[in-house]
Chain A
Amino acid sequence: MKKTVDVSIPLGPMHPCWKEPVRLKCETAGERVLRAEVELGYMKKGIERIMQGRPWQEVMFLAERVCGICSVIHNMVFIETMEKISDIAVPPRAAYLRVVANELDRIASHILANFSYCYTIEHETLAMYLLNTRETVLDNLERLTGSRINTAYMIPGGVRFDLLPEDAAAMLADLREVEEEMKRHVRIFETGPLIALRSKGIGFMSREDAIRAHTVGPTARASGVEDCDLRLHHPTYRELGFTQITRTEGDNFARVMVRFQEVFQSIDLIRKCIDTLPEGPIRGGGFCKAGETSYAGEAPRGELTYTIRTDDYGRVVDIAIRTPSIMNIEACAHAMIKDAASIADVTSTFISSDPCIACNER
């Protein structure tokens, strides 16, 4: 890209605020940031190239390891794409259990994102409260799937483990606790005067910019983009009566608040799932066939698309993954950070868009 000024302030690749390595080069005039450039390549593992030519049994585990934070949804979208290709039906109980696992993962991911934001604006107390709440959520994910991070819970035609009644009761009790704690954290965040100074009106992104860069997920919903939640079109979520949360401010505060509100919504969804959990088997059967299709699901960060071509033996011939962070990081670097008032706001703005570099580069 053409240089407009000489002063370029690099942030990263190792930065105290950033969990993953990425490099932002900010061109500045005084304190004002004129434009920012992202340098990637620190996490490029070439996972799409590894996946090509491997059987689905192997790609299933590889898909989870595209990103550790949202591993459940990567697994779910890959499996649902395979089911769509080969016309495998899912038993209703398994479909509901998938939603439970997915929403638990979403709560954990959203809390982690808000933890990072609070940590970046140096509100360490709230950050530690949030991180502690996240542990309770991960406990429940472990109770359901047997693992904290890479769960491998779903398989074509069902899920691996059933949710026992006593586990369900324990999960509901834990969720009540999480909800109480989160209410307190949201109150701290909403009413904190110093938080408002660092968040309100900073890192603004207009609706037009959001649409132009095809931002998805909480980042887009905070800017007032309607109908950008793919859970609205997912059959199981439609049964549960899902509605989208939208805010119109488009600043850092709105992005964090959208995530807080979605945590409460996810808790409600899990409760509804457990209350109306249908009886029946958790695994159907079926064979993976040849075909090609593109399918998208709603990850914690937004729309996640898998385009897969398989052959007769169930091998993945060609695969393309479009993760939400690709769009969000790009919009963040070129729309939000542009014209930021100071370098100090760059880190918090970047974190507020919930960047996941491992997703972005694959």
Chain B
Amino acid sequence: MKFLYEKDLRQMKYTILTSTKHDETVRAIAERLGMSDAKLRMMLIRRFDMSLLENLESRWQMGQRHANDGDPVAEELGYELFTRFIPLVDTETMQTIYTDTQAMTQEIPFEEAIARGRARIREAILS
């Protein structure tokens, strides 16, 4: 007799992400992060549970409406958006990326520092 009921959920999670609204949301998040949506989808399936995936659209909307850090660097990086609203990166990693980028803006131009910061966020998500 079987005592464990763990089942492979990847197919069902993918079904959730392919509905109209979720697909749009995944594309929007991928554009914001500057990564391909197939890779993002893979990471979402690996990290999030099914109810969080279902709620992705509302969280993304609320994140865009309410996440503000009052700081251009944090805003560009999506500090609160990607830790609290859509928990793709854990808070400690985000904090180090944020402080490093903040320090970098003193030395190199703002856009370049942000670009480097975003690259590190992508790395953190894919790791």
Contact = CB atoms under 8 A, between A and B. Distances in A.
A contacts B directly in the complex (CB < 8 Å)? yes
A48 interface: yes
A307 B21 contact: yes
B3 to A, nearest CB: 11
B19 A212 contact: no
A63 interface: no
A179 interface: no
Interface residues of B, number: 23
Given A37-B49, A38-B50, A330-B51, A320 B61 contact: no
Contacts of A330: 51-52, 54-55, 59
B68 interface: no
Contacts, number: 70
B45 to A, nearest CB: 11
A334 B50 contact: no
Which DSSP category, helix, strand, loop or mixed, fits chain B's interface? Answer: helix
B66 A360 contact: no
Interface stretch (A39-47, A131-139, A160-168, A251-259): A39-47
A173 interface: no
B62 A212 contact: yes
Contacts of A41: 9, 12, 50
Which DSSP category, helix, strand, loop or mixed, fits chain A's interface? Answer: mixed
B59 A214 contact: yes
A333 B57 contact: no
B59 A360 contact: no
Interface residues of A, number: 28
Interface string B8-48: 01001001000111000000000000000000000000011
Contacts of B61: 214
B44 to A, nearest CB: 11
A320 B20 contact: yes
Contacts of B58: 213-214, 322, 326-327
B98 interface: no
A188 interface: no
A326 B54 contact: yes
A211 interface: yes
A41 B50 CA distance: 8
Interface of A: 1-2, 10, 37-41, 44, 46, 48, 211-214, 307, 318-320, 322, 326-327, 329-330, 333-334, 360-361
